[in-house]
A and B are shown apart, each in its own frame.
Chain A
């Protein structure tokens, strides 16, 4: 087990901190009387509300309809009444409509035995339609609508279906717990995905800091009829990024600007596979997900199955509240997540974790000029020169920045994490991408 595979270039080793929550079993979170359900919880165009103020909704009823090709349906997490339709800002800066639902009436599904729908006889097209109907999106972070991702164009072939059990973000343990507790369900989900994608092989990549998950999944893989191989990987961030994961497990490089399908691969997160299982087998829309609530300032870290729309304050309270005043509240992982100030911010489909971090954990320091140490260059998994890009953007040289590969940057945060000058490199890249899109478009017009 010494020579574990990993991606060759760049990457960093932030403190893992998985031990805070990795032994906590997934439990159902409290359902609050008021839920706030944003219409933009996925990549692509926001969903259009199907209900108006005063309408009654039932649990799991579709309340937001996908608009356009890349979009996803939204369902009501609770039965109740629509109290208001608000405009809110999500932590990632997206402004979106959100439905405020006051819980009322009876739950149709919660606590009741669910009907099982056989899927073996369904066609690919029917299965994809179910994924679209159930509003399933990728739960690894990008929240890309799954039915779109799994629609393989004519002439393309999936050689490898790579399942992402890496969970390379520090602190987060939701996928880890799912692999341990829902092994059977995940394998049935794999069977469904196998049916849709017909890959030659299924590769399940898990980082070596989850030995239990590797063992459990390997045992299940042996017992399964599917061509699944479990590949233990050397711990290194950002291995859970699809490009790095594919490089690690297949040795192939996704060309710049292309999708994994170009090299015959499709990647999905284990959490997504579980959602797919529930969506197809129970026809259960994506109204809840596992959220790791953890961090040095959380009294009792936990992995909670929370309904979409639950305010994060409710989940933090359920974990005993704060053990000390946190310096930062983060939604998502510490490397790519967003810091929030409003604890009423709702859980969305993309919320993998809620972190309350202490000052000792975030290690903030004041910014100094770049000292050309080259650590960002060594750390960048995409082979970019972050300090150069940052300076180009700072000097508004957008087309030069684009030539230097600005669009290849996926904001994984390796550069800014290790920058001793504490330069907000990722902030620069995000800004540069947005502005360059506008500037370059104008220049061409």
Chain B
């Protein structure tokens, strides 16, 4: 037996877990695909164009930026993921220059000006979305009517938008958001009705068609955010693969739910503890945000304690913006605001070190 140069020499450990940065990024991307297919189904091929344009411009920017640094990094999958998330955060009718600018802002300004993957302190896709949202608010808030509605109008307000706008000069009486929407004649899909009937007929459970529409995604909204059902299925895979852990999504949704439950009913003249949880959990970008964006490893804390603080803060801010802000939706802003606190959270939530209990007390 002779020496060979082919053998690898490294420091320990000599074996490795199967996960790599690329495998994580591509798995998250794959888990997002079903929700996107649903978006294309209800908003048409135009939605596909938007997503593809977002991805292509993200990849192009990553290529240029990484070439400038001397190493092509397209293979790690992070730019593709940013691109798909930018696309998912666009309405289907958006003028195509908007996703291009959003992706470019995300990749070049937010990510690469700080040094590329791992160095950014804000979620690139969300920062890109927020940037174009405030710059071209009109284009970013025109929503295509889902194909599953039997409605003639080409565009329609999102459920959250309809509630926020409608409540401004509302003088009547409504129990909650869904009641308000149904009074205002907000459309419902035939699929929603069929599922609700099946539930009441077969399982003897009463379920409103509007709730089914929200959960399945028969509502106007951003391309990738509408189907809570398919996003949750993807998130389940991420949990099983241990790519995301419970801390951020659970504390995020729990904080938000508790606040909605306590205070959410007051704007309809109800007392405390009568908020409409289901409506708020499954509308807007909450599910997409809680499972796919707030959990972004780069821009969330590293310890369990830190993640819990981060989740609580995000839930609180989302509630605050949704209920008391001037915009109907607060998920993106809440997450990037909390992103800013991550270095601070990391600083004060270090892990508990082994073998230090007695020593500290002794001092």
Contacts and interface: CB of A to CB of B under 8 A. Distances in A.
Contacts of B307: 374
A387 B13 contact: no
B168 interface: no
Interface centre among A9, A364, A416, A420 (most CB of B within 10 A): A420
B249 interface: no
Interface in A345-384: 355, 357, 361-365, 368-374, 377-378, 380-384
Contacts of A247: 354
Nearest to B353: A383
A30 B24 CA distance: 47
A343 B307 CA distance: 47
A140 interface: no
Interface string A379-411: 011111101000000000000000001001001
B207 interface: no
Contacts of A369: 115-119
A363 B12 contact: no
Given A243-B354, A255-B358, A426 B11 contact: yes
Contacts of B173: none
B117 A371 contact: yes
B192 to A, nearest CB: 39
A127 to B, nearest CB: 31
A116 interface: no
Contacts of B3: 341-343
Interface string B9-41: 111111111111111100000000000000000
Which range contains the number of A residues in contact with the other chain?
35 or more
A420 B19 contact: yes
Contact of A254 (B9, B350, B355): B355
Interface stretch (B82-90, B99-107, B296-304): B296-304
Nearest to A7: B354
B353 A411 contact: no
Nearest to A247: B354
Given A327-B7, A342-B3, A377-B303, A413 B13 contact: yes
Contacts of B363: none
B16 A365 contact: yes
Q: Main SS of the interface on chain B?
A: loop
B350 A385 contact: yes
Interface centre among A256, A340, A427 (most CB of B within 10 A): A256
Contact of A422 (B20, B119, B297, B303): B20
A327 B8 contact: yes
A94 interface: no
Interface stretch (A18-26, A72-80, A160-168, A328-336): A328-336
B302 A387 contact: yes
A358 B302 CA distance: 33
Interface centre among B16, B73, B76, B352 (most CB of A within 10 A): B16
A321 B297 CA distance: 44
Nearest to A373: B297
Given A341-B3, A380-B351, A422-B16, A430 B11 contact: yes
Contacts of A424: 10-11
B356 A335 contact: no
A93 B344 CA distance: 40
Given A343-B3, A368-B117, A372-B297, A363 B18 contact: yes
Interface centre among A9, A364, A373 (most CB of B within 10 A): A373
Contacts of A337: 12, 14
B354 A381 contact: yes
Contacts of A355: 14
A361 B117 contact: no
A380 B304 CA distance: 13
A326 B7 contact: yes
A417 interface: yes
Contacts of A373: 24, 297, 302
Interface in A1-50: 9, 12, 14-15
A313 interface: yes
A373 B297 CA distance: 5
Contacts of A56: none
Nearest to B16: A363
A318 to B, nearest CB: 12
Contacts of B117: 368-369, 371
A131 interface: no
Contacts of A408: 353-355
A334 B118 contact: no
A427 B12 CA distance: 7
A338 interface: yes
A311 B199 CA distance: 73
Interface string A417-438: 1111110101100100000000
A374 B308 CA distance: 13
B359 A316 contact: no
A424 B14 CA distance: 11
B303 A357 contact: no
Contact of A338 (B12, B17, B303): B12
B118 A383 contact: no
A334 B14 CA distance: 5
Interface in A104-138: none
12 contacts: A253-B357, A313-B1, A325-B4, A327-B8, A328-B8, A337-B12, A339-B14, A341-B7, A369-B115, A369-B116, A383-B351, A427-B11
Top 4 A-B pairs, shortest CB-CB distance:
A374-B302, A413-B13, A369-B118, A373-B297
Given A335-B12, A368-B76, 12 more contacts: A170-B15, A256-B356, A328-B14, A334-B14, A337-B12, A338-B12, A341-B7, A363-B15, A385-B302, A417-B15, A418-B19, A424-B10
